[in-house]
Amino acid sequence: MAGKGGFLRPIRLGPWMQENLSDGHITWAFQIYREYREALGAAYEARGQKRTKRRGASYHTIRNYLFMLRKLGWIEYVGSDPMGEERSGGRFKAIELVDIPAGRLLFRITSAGSGADWSDITASYKEEF
**How much is the pLDDT for 47?**
80
Q: How much is the average pLDDT of 27-39?
A: 87
Distance CA 29, CA 13 (A): 13
What pTM was computed for the model? 0.72
**How much is the pLDDT for 71?**
93
Rounded to 5°, the CA angle 41-38-20 comes to: 125
